[in-house]
Amino acid sequence: MPPGGSPLSVPGTSQWRHRELQAAALRLFQSRADDGVVKEDAVFNVLLARRPGGAA
């Protein structure tokens, strides 16, 4: 580790890779956001069924 450095500043450590991943995710979010808002479309499928004999 460099003098005065922290484990988070050492390339190749899992903490450093995690921090780099977070930074990349934030850049991607900011590039897709519209005034800080990201809109996500979602589709939900619902299966409706009754139990045999009409029991609830």
- Are 10 and 16 within 8 A, CB to CB? yes
Question: Has this prediction a pTM greater than 0.85?
Answer: no
- Are 19 and 10 within 8 A, CB to CB? no
What share of residues in the chain are helix, strand, coil (percent, to 5)? Answer: 45, 5, 50
Q: Where are the domains of the chain?
A: 1-37
One-letter amino acid at 19 equals R
Give the CA distances from residue 26 to residues 3, 18, 23, 33, in Å, rounded to whole numbers and listed in that order: 29, 12, 5, 10
pLDDT at 54: 66
pLDDT digits (tens, 9 = 90+) for 6-53: 555 566 778 888 889 999 999 988 888 888 888 888 999 999 888 887
